[in-house]
Structure 1
Amino acid sequence: MSNKTYDVAVIGGGFFGCEIALHFHERGYKTVIFEKESDLFKRASFINQARVHNGYHYPRSLLTALRSRVNYPAFVRDYREAIYDSFKQYYAVANQPSKVTAVQYRRFCERIGAPLSEAPADIRKLFNSDLIEEVFETEECAFDGNKLRDLTKKKLKKSKIEVRLGTEVELIKSAGKEGILVRFKTGGQEGTLEANSVLNCTYSQINVLNARSGLPTIPLKHELTETVLVKVPRQIEDIGITVMCGSFFSTMPFPARSCHSLTHVRYTPHETWYDKPGKQPKNAHAYLDGSNPRTSFSYMVSDAKRYLSVVSDFKYIESLWEVKTVLPQSEHSDSRPILFVTDHGIKGYICIMGGKIDNIYDALDELDVYYDSKKKNGKKKAH
């Protein structure tokens, strides 16, 4: 294949990769996207709770909560066509062993400016009052992964950004003072191209590419996770529920399949491993594709029905499996900072990852700061 030259090569055709490519295109950069799957949004961008966070989920990480409050209205505005808000979202604070009390949670929401009110009596009656201290009505919505993908495709088509589907980047290496060589494979045919910058937006696969390219491993934590899709009883069809804060559960609309999701802090993760320097990283996609995990649906129901009895009537539809990746320092605080590593072993090579979908704004801000700084430094050298 011909050796073309681009300003920016984005590896990974999930939400982050596509939006970053669009952002560079708007700034006048010639951009290309590589995606090894047959379509965009095939993995983590689709397989998740589909929650657009408005801060409520993070009482133990004030910074993450505040960033969610800032990003929430922007995300709802920018992706209105993919937003599903025809439901009420409730957060219930459990008694022991919850890590926050109802009073602490109310103060937290006041501190971050998140709308909060006492849930109506008919909603509170759904819960076991012996185990649930208080139930709050909040303002939070979901996104439809199919509509978000289709909206993104329209934007990419309009911008005429080159998208190479079914194409896996095998490695990258320095191509001189200002360039990076990208070696890839499409349907068994190998090719190369050069780019001034390469952005690794492959989420759980970030270190797989780093290892293939002889670059340092970035410490990351991975979890093999199960999101269960369920049909819920009519009385909670139009609501979402999160019980917190600790080893509890959440059920909320999953718009892309016209059903609800069910996740549990204890039973959603089936396996955990870490990428560590000096250790060969596990290929998360290959591992997941070759595994045959058993659902934990019955365990989720057994525990969740103690707090919300209608969970007993949930009907199993299917399980969506994916590898969730976070920064190791997020383990104990529930924080979701972005990963943003510049010039990682090669000048112009950036590894970037968000812990939740609205982190995209934080990522774009960091990119703007980085590239504006490069431009200024370039002008100084010219003088």
Structure 2
Amino acid sequence: MENGVVKTVNAQYKVAVVGGGIFGATAAIEIAKLGVKVTIFERECDLMHAASGINQYRLHRGYHYPRSFETMLASKKAEPEFAKRFSPAMVKDVTHYYSISSENSKVSADEYIKFCDAADLYYKQVSIPIVSSKVAITLEAQEHLFDPNVLRQLLTQELHDANVTLQLQTNATKSLLKNFDFVVIATYASSNELVKQLDLPMQAYQFEVCEKPIVRMPKSFGKVSLVIMDGPFMCIDPYGHSDLYVLGNVVHAIHSVNDGFDPQISPEVAPMLNHGIIKNPTTTKFPDFIESGKQFIPPLSEAEFIGSMFTVRTVLPKRDLTDERPTEVVQLSPNVVRLFSGKIGTSVHAAKNTAEIVSRQLA
């Protein structure tokens, strides 16, 4: 790469993918199908060590986005292909519920049912003992979770089969990338670091330093995924194929938030960031998760705290009204593309779009 212009277009064409999350890995696999040499640079010690491996592990079908029909459609369209391709990673022995709070919800029970009807999303109205009277309605849904550890193994094997070179614990810099003909930036929260080095336009984001507590629930709770909608509420989901659960909370999960080009991370949280489950974290909002959550899900009062995971969630700014989470594939120069990940299920479609851009450069 030199001054934003492709130097060579031949069998030795080299593509660098910066970022070893689900979006970077799937993009590398698709690009390798073009017969070019692909290298992934990942600063962590393994794939999916940051936000791709620290989330609610829900393969969204669209139920979560009654205020953004566009995000619902993108999730619904992308879900079947992702679920089929990574079938061994799907956690299927789970019953999924979406409950609408009777107070402070941005969507009423009637509005949510109308949304599901308009979106052609399956639902069945049910009554379940694990929610309180603060819930106006509960719908059983059809959705999947994924096991991040199995997904990581599948991606590692696909990368090997595609002859993609994987450079772990490597920080990609402008000088390192000068030997490549095309660069894909898929580093999510830190994408502006490299974009700035390459003298390309940066994108402002909203950065949220998030905590994901891991708990053990009483056996009577069952293998259940439960989301309380649609406001300052919470969710609980099985943690992969294990007997543990991961908690989410719209308010209490966030330790800090800032708008700008780079995340601002406190010295207290920084050492725990993207390091898996931290037992006895030096700071945690776990008590707040339980105190607010048990009002809707009383069994949470019996949750046993195992530890917490910390990462940076990144969204486009000023999207609070709709909560939309678009996935973007942006060509910053003739030979640099930035992938911004919305929902994980859209990664396969984004990878194909990225490969098409590289293919046009080869033509």
Settle same-fold status: TM greater than 0.5: yes
The answer on 1:361 being equivalent to 2:330 is: no
> In structure 2, what residue type is equivalent to 1:9?
A
The answer on 1:273 being equivalent to 2:277 is: no
CA distance in 1, matches of 2:130, 2:168: 47
Q: Contact 1:91 / 1:243 at 8 angstroms: preserved in 2?
A: yes
CA distance in 1, matches of 2:182, 2:267: 27
- Matched with 1:348 is 335
Q: Contact 2:65 / 2:71 at 8 angstroms: preserved in 1?
A: yes
CA distance in 1, matches of 2:68, 2:37: 38
**1:63-91 residue CA offsets vs partner (Å, 9 max, x unmatched):** 11111111111111110011101110100
1:53-202 mapped onto 2 (5 Å cutoff): 53-119=60-126, 121=127, 123=128, 125-129=129-133, 131-171=134-174, 183-184=175-176, 193-202=178-187
Residue 282 of structure 1: CA displacement?
4.4
Q: Structure 1's 198 and 77: CA in aligned 2 closer, same or farther, altered over 3 A? A: same
1:203-242 mapped onto 2 (5 Å cutoff): 203-242=188-227
Structure with higher RCO (Cα < 8 A, 6+ apart): 2
- Matched with 1:301 is 290
- Matched with 1:51 is 58
Residue 367 of structure 1: CA displacement?
2.2
SS of equivalent to 2:181: strand
Aligned-pair identity (%): 28
Q: Contact 2:14 / 2:37 at 8 angstroms: preserved in 1?
A: yes
SS of equivalent to 2:49: coil
Tell me the TM-score normalised to structure 1 length: 0.85
Higher strand share: 1
Q: Structure 1's 202 and 317: CA in aligned 2 closer, same or farther, altered over 3 A? A: same
CA distance in 1, matches of 2:130, 2:264: 43
RMSD of aligned residue pairs (Cα, Å):
2.2
> In structure 2, what residue type is equivalent to 1:314?
A
Tell me the TM-score normalised to structure 2 length: 0.89
Residue 293 of structure 1: CA displacement?
5.9
Q: Contact 2:207 / 2:263 at 8 angstroms: preserved in 1?
A: no
Q: Structure 1's 322 and 107: CA in aligned 2 closer, same or farther, altered over 3 A? A: same
CA distance in 1, matches of 2:146, 2:329: 25
Residue 101 of structure 1: CA displacement?
1.1
Q: Structure 1's 356 and 59: CA in aligned 2 closer, same or farther, altered over 3 A? A: same
Q: Structure 1's 12 and 284: CA in aligned 2 closer, same or farther, altered over 3 A? A: farther
1:243-254 mapped onto 2 (5 Å cutoff): 243-254=228-239
Ranges in structure 2 where 5+ consecutive residues have no aligned partner:
1-7, 273-280
Say how many residue pairs are matched. 345
The answer on 1:15 being equivalent to 2:22 is: yes
SS of equivalent to 2:53: coil
CA distance in 1, matches of 2:318, 2:350: 18
Q: Contact 1:207 / 1:275 at 8 angstroms: preserved in 2?
A: no
**1:220-247 residue CA offsets vs partner (Å, 9 max, x unmatched):** 1110000010111212231111000001
> In structure 2, what residue type is equivalent to 1:204?
A
Higher alpha-carbon deviation: 253-262 or 133-142: 253-262
CA distance in 2, matches of 1:225, 1:339: 22
**1:257-316 residue CA offsets vs partner (Å, 9 max, x unmatched):** 53101111010011001224xxxx347699953477611111111111111211111111
CA distance in 1, matches of 2:268, 2:17: 24
SS of equivalent to 2:171: strand
**1:324-349 residue CA offsets vs partner (Å, 9 max, x unmatched):** 0111143321111013221x2x4311
